A and B are shown apart, each in its own frame.
Chain A
Amino acid sequence: MRYSMRYFMAALCMVVFMATGCSEDELDRLNRVDNQPPVDVVDARLQLPDAVVSMAFTTFGGGYAWHVASYTEQIFGDGGTQMMYAELRDPVITAAPTTFNNEWNNTYHNLLNIDLIISKCTDGVNAGQLDLKGMAEVLKVMGYSTLTLLHGDIPYTEACNPKIRNPRLDAQKDVYDSLLALTDTAISDFQEAIDGGMSNVGEHDLLYKGDVTQWLALAYAVKARLLLDGLVRNPEAAAAVVTAGERAFELGFRGAELAVFNGVEAMNPWAAYFKSRHYSGASATVVRLMEEREDPRLGVYACDTFGTGVLWANPGDAALASTIDNVGAPAWLGNASAGQHLLSEASLRFVIAEAKLRLGKDATADFQAGVRASFADYAENAPESAGVKDLASEYLMQFDTVTLGEVMVQKYLSQVRDEQIETYNDLRRLRKMGEEYVKMRNPCNDDDGMNRWPWLLPYGNSDVVSNPNVAAIFGTGNEAGYYIFEE
């Protein structure tokens, strides 16, 4: 009996041990990883820094910019591999779904992060924080407007929802209208936050250190740019462009530039790319425009970077495109501490100038302010050209009257530094409006009568292979991706 009891107790202990070891709570505990905080508990303020950094680094300063800079002839692509093929307008790169896959994925991933911030500010751990919510909304507008302008129709209403694996595409116009409305929501949220004295973000705001008024100004600036991009559909919007743009400056808009790069732990995206690959050179199209104007910025744009004496290359020059460490590159590409714009002061000045000229108004002041802002930007980010800033006034003397053409040329030259995507948007918009102020010279844009200048960028590969809605547009076989060459 005594032994039986022992055996029974031993068996009981074992059963208890096994049962405890199998309990769902215990197994949940084991399955938790210490450095993986659940989504719901993380304060959305901690999500904002990367919402900004990703937008600046990946969406505006990453692969989209590197490639379209060749399409706009602001940068010459070389190095004998990928950027050479972009420069030579080879569809293997320009029409391939893999070319912009990283940017496509990362921008949507950032938009998911931004949606979560908005959601948490609505009914989550940050409920009621309208300043933070407005910031996320502005960034959401910037992200989606970039995607739809570059890719055309895009997943929007069904995007960033893990329950929908194959989001449907929304028409560009619908996305555009929705974003305009969202911009107004952001403006309203900021206004309410200012009225309520909110200051929830502080140091987590890498753009303005929590200055909500600056964000409100940026919201107006974004609205102005968005309205300008829509001019092709709605020419009547020019007045609204001016109103929104001027409101931004009234609120003290001084540009949206991410300036956290110290060149060591954090590097400017263009500089990091150049340091990694040396695929970027100076383009003759820019050089020619600068030479025609005796532009002092030329000295930092076309440099003898590699001691080869080759300062620039004609767009589409196959021989130079196949070389590496040969064609000189803009000086700021060597400055890993340079800032990266989401929207520069110069760009907004030129946006207003263009709208005013289309309305038949004088735009001299905006034009001059835009050129001065651009000179200051060059001076600040290419240390070799520190003196350039002081030469703006003398430079401006050559422009007696401000024409739409010169506004667009100066905007083009200003955006050479880090807003090439905006230039690409402008060039396509103007072409659709029947206007061309900066002539594209790359002979590879035409291949035996077949257009090879991309009107759109191909969708990201992840959607092409995993989303039938996108795959249907992308096509298959020899012609897959060639829809981008059709206007």
Chain B
Amino acid sequence: MMKRLSIFLSLLAGSAAILPHRVSAAEGAPDNAADTALYSSDLTEVVVTALGISKANKSLGYAVKNLNADDLNTAGTNSISSAIQGKVAGVDIRPSSGSPGASNQIVIRGARSFTDSNRPLFVVDGMPVNADPDFSTGNSVRGADLPDRSIDINPDDIESISFLKGQAASALYGIRASNGVVVITTKRARKRTSRPSVTVSTNISADVVSRPFHPQQTYAQGTKLSAYDPNAATTWGPRISSLPDDPLYGGNANGHPGMYMNPKLEQAGLSPWIYPQIYDNVGDFFRTGITENTSLAVAQNNGRLSYSFGINNSYQGGVVPGTDMNRWNVRGLVDWWLAPGWTTGFSVNYSSTKIHAAPSGNNAIVNTVYQAPAEYDLAGLPYCAPNDPSKQVSYRPTVYDNPYWWVANNEYARHTGRLFGNAYLQYDLRFGPDGNMTLRLREQAGIDCFTTSDSDVLETGSAGSSGGQISNYGVTSNVFNNLFTASYNALFGDDFDFDLMLGSEVEESSNLWRSYTGSNFNFYGMPVISNAKVLSGSEYTTRRRTLGFFGSVGLGWRSMLYLTVTGRSDVVSSMPRDHRTFFYPSVSLGWVFSGMEPLRDWSPLDFGKLRVSFAQVGQAGTYRDNYMYIPTYSGGMYTFTPVRYPLGGVSSYVPYLQVYDPDLHPQNTDNVEWGIDLEFLNRRLKASYTVAWQNVTGQIFSIPTAGSTGYRYMMANAGKIRTWSHEVDLNAEILRGPDYSLGVGVNLTTLDNQVVELAPGVESIMLGGFTSPQIRAQEGHSYPSIYGTAFQRTDDGRLLLNNGLPQATAASVCLADCTPDLVTGFNLDARWRCLSLSATLSWQAGGRMYHGSNLTMNYSGVTRESLPWHEGTIVAEGVDMATGEVNMVEVDRQKYYQAYNNIAEAGVYDMSFVKLRDITLTCRLPRVCGIGFEVFAFARNVLLWTRLPNFDPEASQGNGNMGGYFERYSMPATTSIGGGLKIQF
């Protein structure tokens, strides 16, 4: 009885800070105080659930995945997303590139919102922290990537992560929980020691482009085979070897035998006559990057006080010159057992993150690198005119920047200083006839404050902004969070376990947004706002308060049946008057059927549980009274802002483009989850299967409206998304011995994320991209999908040809659904004596993306795929539009290939891939003089196989819901190889 009581208390006791049943007032802190992911005495796994409550995994009626520090791939990366990729079923992570500070899109079990964030809530040491990007990249067709704020978390500080994937798991977090929750616990001192433990670790890696683009090197710049054209935007010119024969630019007939003339060289102050040569412009431009992580941590648990302090530096020099990231993290964490029953402590994290990014999309610098004709020495020739550094020299008109000029002159800088953490006071009381009841009162207050200052600098002479421009913008964000909880746990007799928790939470946020722009510099060389001739700026503040009241009741019966019911009511300031209060319930049931006769004695099965849960959670929107604003003129065909108010001292206001529905009510997500967990053969084989159904109704989003309404958007409730997700986790400990082990794990996810309905009359919603193509939420398709112009076809699918050439539809149509059929992660863990080997492999089957680089470079005759199309003619298969007969029109192969690759549908590619994400070999040397050494070597993102031609499918545009599926001259993904060292004493 007493043993069961002890175990029970250990499992059901309160927050992450302490497990009170083990704390004897006289003894002070236990050895494993504050442990959050450990095994109790009967090896029952304990996991962190909502609001930091530790529970026995076996008692849960829903799936929670827990990763410990050893499970994370932290070497060679500074991103938490990268560290967990391939590890968790149902958690989709899409990196935008391998650039320093690159954004990642994390979505758990599919999207719930068409246009708002689908990122889960991040909770670090009990404090909810912002992990969204400060600014959206909008349609993501130009400019540099903007990082998400999860970049401020140092993955090396993490002790464990729990993924609360289903809504029942996260319901206690209320309105923030519908996207799931990632609960992070940072490292702290575990074992009681007489002196501090010091850990120094460092790793360094060399980074290269994971899949470098190789352009064709046969044909020269030009629009047709018969003539070299040093101003052309395409590479459909004559063979490079025949350039000296060109009638206009060739030297054979113009007194320079064997040479040809490029007038661009004259602009650079050189002789225009040169011999044909081949240059590796792509190889010349990208450099070997470097990633370094160094940490120092000091920690001790002396029985009454546990502390942990650490400092970390992460530096990444990108493969694109001029890009880098430098981050410093400092953290401190203290738990102090004040007096019998009383505990206090704090956790504080500071980070400073500086990133230099490079533009992608329409003003990408890799565009000019990839498209450079092989006969043009992009690296060797000057990038500006002699005596005029603002006058670029490039192989084509300066619609795009010469990349070397860009590196020397422009920058996209992002800097964030951030402080987050919390302090708590906790009182624990054990009472009852047998001490079978506990009461915990816990008060916790925290802050999350950061200031981001970004600067986009375009020096005088930049493409699209010849006068130069600087945009300084940022946000100062302050979030205060107060959480009070009262927990009561009891055992009644031998059969019943009971727990009750009540609490309240207040969260208040304030964001000051600012933006200042200066354009047309007085002179080159000082691209700062004070040197600009035209200035504009804006500042405004947004505020939000959420008050939540919640409760949870749990009942267990004979360690076999576990029922949990929760409820939470939130009041949110951002909703309209009288529509601000929401209530969300959840109920979950876990049945450990292996505890029943006759299974109890069936030896192959150690553990078997069925679980089922239902939950309802919601999301609040942002409501405003309809308002007016000062309009701006930019975008569309304009590459700058042509008109700004005030005009001659007169300003103007117009109605804002979005109208708000005063009947806005909370969006609702219903979730039902079923699952089974099985453990066999002395727990060496573990299998888990979860199927989750999720129905989102009454979404709050900006409904795109017909322009003829006068508005562009209406903030209202509309639309439905229905999702089925299937997740399988298999883990096998194949070998186990005193000095060796071999384990493998597989996780599989399939997802059907259907857009059932948008708004009345609305068929699709743009998430990003161009007019055509773009990424959309499309009614009747999975989320998201690719939308754009398609080939005109006959009813039986044959191409309709106009004068022998493919013809596009005038209107855009749905071209493909993006979601992969199956995402699989394989994990390997092997150990032999002091050596251990771990590996993570990802396999994505299916999935479609729009790949603008392939498409446009096919069109331009740059790719190797275009080589067979530079010469000759073709009578293409298809039906002639004018006659309805089989096409007989013969056209140039080049013309056909260009017409074909000028239609968005041709840019949709299968993005299936297999990638070895990480392989790490570690050697733990025997301790010498109390000093432990660990050395390791690793490789990341190697051995890529994919159906996508020329590029890594994990490089794309956008830091929002379109992320991962739309590419256009995006920054490249990278491969890293390196090693590291860890010293502990």
Tell me whether B231 and A325 are in contact (CB under 8 A): yes
Enumerate A93-135 residues with CB–CB distance to B below 8 Å: 94-98, 101-102, 104-105, 108-113, 115-116
Residues on B with beta carbons closer than 8 Å to the beta carbon of A154 = 708
Among candidates A113, A325, A470, residue contacting B654 with C-beta atoms closer than 8 Å: A113
Residues on A with beta carbons closer than 8 Å to the beta carbon of B636 = 62-63, 102
Tell me whether A50 and B652 are in contact (CB under 8 A): yes
Residues on A with beta carbons closer than 8 Å to the beta carbon of B656 = 36
Q: Is A239 an interface residue (CB 8 A)?
A: no
Tell me whether B628 and A37 are in contact (CB under 8 A): yes
Tell me whether B633 and A22 are in contact (CB under 8 A): no
Tell me whether A97 and B708 are in contact (CB under 8 A): no
Contact A481 to B811, CB < 8 A, known contacts A48-B652, A98-B772, A109-B654: yes
Tell me whether A159 and B708 are in contact (CB under 8 A): yes
Tell me whether B811 and A480 are in contact (CB under 8 A): yes
Tell me whether A324 and B707 are in contact (CB under 8 A): no
Residues on A with beta carbons closer than 8 Å to the beta carbon of B573 = 27, 30-31
Contact A92 to B655, CB < 8 A, known contacts A21-B547, A27-B573, A30-B543: no
Q: Is A296 an interface residue (CB 8 A)?
A: no
Tell me whether A462 and B628 are in contact (CB under 8 A): no
Which residue of B640, B644, B771 has the most chain A CB atoms within 10 A of its CB atom? B771
Secondary structure at the B interface, as helix, strand, loop or mixed, is: loop
User: Nearest chain-B residue to A450 (Cβ)?
Assistant: B882
Give B92-114 as 1s and 0s: 1 = Cβ < 8 Å from A's Cβ atoms: 00000000000000000000000
Contact A33 to B540, CB < 8 A, known contacts A167-B706, A325-B231: yes
Q: State in angstroms the CA–CA spacing of A80 and B712 once bound together.
A: 31
Tell me whether A47 and B534 are in contact (CB under 8 A): no
Residues on B with beta carbons closer than 8 Å to the beta carbon of A447 = 802-803, 882
Q: Is A434 an interface residue (CB 8 A)?
A: no
Tell me whether B712 and A42 are in contact (CB under 8 A): no
Tell me whether A35 and B540 are in contact (CB under 8 A): yes
Q: Is A367 an interface residue (CB 8 A)?
A: no
Q: Is A394 an interface residue (CB 8 A)?
A: no
Q: Which stretch of B237-245, B619-627, B668-676 is in the interface?
A: B619-627
Q: Is A322 an interface residue (CB 8 A)?
A: yes
Closest chain A CB from B642 CB (angstroms): 4
Residues on B with beta carbons closer than 8 Å to the beta carbon of A94 = 810
Tell me whether A53 and B710 are in contact (CB under 8 A): no
Q: Is A250 an interface residue (CB 8 A)?
A: no
Closest chain B CB from A69 CB (angstroms): 13
Give A17-55 as 1s and 0s: 1 = Cβ < 8 Å from B's Cβ atoms: 010011010011011111111110010001111100110
Give B788-804 as 1s and 0s: 1 = Cβ < 8 Å from A's Cβ atoms: 01001100000010110
Q: Is B5 an interface residue (CB 8 A)?
A: no
Contact A21 to B545, CB < 8 A, known contacts A31-B573, A449-B882: yes
Enumerate B638-654 residues with CB–CB distance to A below 8 Å: 638-640, 642-645, 647-654
Q: Is A309 an interface residue (CB 8 A)?
A: no
Tell me whether A164 and B638 are in contact (CB under 8 A): no
Tell me whether A266 and B642 are in contact (CB under 8 A): yes
Tell me whether B711 and A109 are in contact (CB under 8 A): yes
Tell me whether A323 and B231 are in contact (CB under 8 A): yes
Q: Is B4 an interface residue (CB 8 A)?
A: no
Tell me whether B625 and A105 are in contact (CB under 8 A): no
Give A162-180 as 1s and 0s: 1 = Cβ < 8 Å from B's Cβ atoms: 1011110000000000000
Q: State in angstroms the CA–CA spacing of A252 and B340 once bound together.
A: 94
Contact A324 to B397, CB < 8 A, known contacts A27-B571, A36-B627, A474-B811: yes
Residues on B with beta carbons closer than 8 Å to the beta carbon of A458 = 810
Residues on A with beta carbons closer than 8 Å to the beta carbon of B659 = 162
Tell me whether B541 and A39 are in contact (CB under 8 A): no
Q: State in angstroms the CA–CA spacing of A266 and B223 once bound together.
A: 37
Contact A31 to B623, CB < 8 A, known contacts A108-B708, A165-B709, A273-B638: yes
Contact A264 to B534, CB < 8 A, known contacts A166-B706, A462-B705: yes
Residues on B with beta carbons closer than 8 Å to the beta carbon of A62 = 636
Q: Is B577 an interface residue (CB 8 A)?
A: yes
Q: Is A272 an interface residue (CB 8 A)?
A: yes
Q: Is A160 an interface residue (CB 8 A)?
A: yes
Tell me whether A266 and B644 are in contact (CB under 8 A): yes
Among candidates B627, B638, B761, residue contacting A166 with C-beta atoms closer than 8 Å: B761
Q: Is A66 an interface residue (CB 8 A)?
A: yes
Tell me whether A481 and B810 are in contact (CB under 8 A): yes
Closest chain A CB from B636 CB (angstroms): 5
Give B333-347 as 1s and 0s: 1 = Cβ < 8 Å from A's Cβ atoms: 000000000000000
Q: State in angstroms the CA–CA spacing of A98 and B711 once bound together.
A: 17
Tell me whether B638 and A276 are in contact (CB under 8 A): yes
Contact A101 to B653, CB < 8 A, known contacts A49-B647, A476-B811: no
Among candidates A38, A465, A476, A478, residue contacting B762 with C-beta atoms closer than 8 Å: A465
Residues on A with beta carbons closer than 8 Å to the beta carbon of B763 = 465-466
Q: Is A482 an interface residue (CB 8 A)?
A: yes
Q: State in angstroms the CA–CA spacing of A326 and B644 once bound together.
A: 31
Residues on A with beta carbons closer than 8 Å to the beta carbon of B520 = 264
Residues on B with beta carbons closer than 8 Å to the beta carbon of A98 = 771-772, 812
Q: Is B657 an interface residue (CB 8 A)?
A: yes
Tell me whether B534 and A96 are in contact (CB under 8 A): no
Tell me whether A276 and B639 are in contact (CB under 8 A): yes
Contact A113 to B655, CB < 8 A, known contacts A265-B534, A481-B810: yes
Q: Is B629 an interface residue (CB 8 A)?
A: yes
Tell me whether A267 and B761 are in contact (CB under 8 A): no
Tell me whether A276 and B637 are in contact (CB under 8 A): yes
Residues on B with beta carbons closer than 8 Å to the beta carbon of A27 = 545, 571, 573, 577, 580
Tell me whether A24 and B642 are in contact (CB under 8 A): no
Enumerate B722-771 residues with CB–CB distance to A below 8 Å: 759-764, 771
Q: State in angstroms the CA–CA spacing of A40 and B516 once bound together.
A: 29
Q: State in angstroms the CA–CA spacing of A104 and B399 once bound together.
A: 28
Residues on A with beta carbons closer than 8 Å to the beta carbon of B711 = 109, 112, 162
Contact A463 to B706, CB < 8 A, known contacts A37-B653, A264-B533, A276-B639: yes
Which residue of B538, B580, B649 has the most chain A CB atoms within 10 A of its CB atom? B580
Tell me whether A266 and B643 are in contact (CB under 8 A): yes
Among candidates B544, B647, B772, residue contacting A53 with C-beta atoms closer than 8 Å: B647
Which residue of A27, A102, A277 has the most chain B CB atoms within 10 A of its CB atom? A27
Q: Is A464 an interface residue (CB 8 A)?
A: yes
Tell me whether B542 and A38 are in contact (CB under 8 A): no
Q: Is A330 an interface residue (CB 8 A)?
A: no
Closest chain A CB from B573 CB (angstroms): 4
Which residue of B574, B623, B626, B707 has the most chain A CB atoms within 10 A of its CB atom? B707
Tell me whether A91 and B810 are in contact (CB under 8 A): yes
Give A123-165 as 1s and 0s: 1 = Cβ < 8 Å from B's Cβ atoms: 0000000000000000000000000000000110001111011
Q: State in angstroms the CA–CA spacing of A98 and B707 once bound together.
A: 12
Q: Is A360 an interface residue (CB 8 A)?
A: no
Q: State in angstroms the CA–CA spacing of A344 and B293 once bound together.
A: 67
Q: List 27 A-B contacts (CB under 8 A).
A: A18-B506, A21-B547, A27-B580, A31-B544, A35-B538, A36-B540, A38-B627, A38-B628, A42-B653, A47-B654, A49-B650, A80-B233, A108-B709, A113-B654, A161-B710, A162-B709, A165-B760, A206-B648, A266-B647, A277-B637, A461-B771, A462-B705, A462-B706, A464-B811, A476-B811, A480-B811, A481-B810
Q: Beyond A49-B652, A54-B654: 15 further Cβ-contacts under 8 Å? A: A31-B544, A38-B627, A57-B633, A91-B810, A96-B789, A102-B636, A113-B654, A166-B761, A260-B647, A267-B643, A272-B642, A279-B637, A460-B707, A466-B706, A478-B809
Residues on A close to B: CB < 8 A? 18, 21-22, 24, 27-28, 30-39, 42, 46-50, 53-54, 57-58, 62-63, 66, 80, 91-92, 94-98, 101-102, 104-105, 108-113, 115-116, 154-155, 159-162, 164-167, 203-204, 206, 260, 264-267, 269, 272-273, 275-277, 279, 319, 322-326, 447-450, 458, 460-468, 470, 474, 476-478, 480-482
